[in-house]
Amino acid sequence: MISSRLILGAFAVFFAVILWSKIRDTAWMLIVIGIIAAYIEIIYSILNLFGFIGADFLLIGSVSLAAILLQSLWIICFIAAFIVMIKRQYHKTNRRRIK
């Protein structure tokens, strides 16, 4: 399970970085950042699982602030990318109606 997450995540990050170098679109850049953040979260959780890093700094309740941020960052990036895409489509639709 761990190795499949690492390997598939590495492929996703590799292709995301290739896409990032080709496309400078805001929505796609947010998706690429989200993929990279998800892979960082995978690495963080694996290092935490094996005890290489401690998760006992900056606790909120019994959960590490780093874990909360890393688990939330990628989905926040995806939400922002979808909002950018929706706004773009909304503006295209309104321009057509005005003409």
Question: Do residues 13 and 35 make contact, with C-beta atoms less than 8 angstroms apart?
Answer: yes
Q: Is the dihedral of CA 21, 2, 71, 63 positive or negative?
A: negative
pTM strictly above 0.85: no
Give per-residue pLDDT as tens, 63-76: 788 888 989 999 99
What pLDDT does 96 receive? 65
List the domain boundaries for the chain.
2-98
Give per-residue pLDDT as tens, 37-49: 999 999 988 888 8
User: Which residues of the chain are under the pLDDT cut of 70?
Assistant: 55-57, 95-99
What pLDDT does 12 receive? 95
* DSSP 3-state of 53: coil
What pLDDT does 87 receive? 93
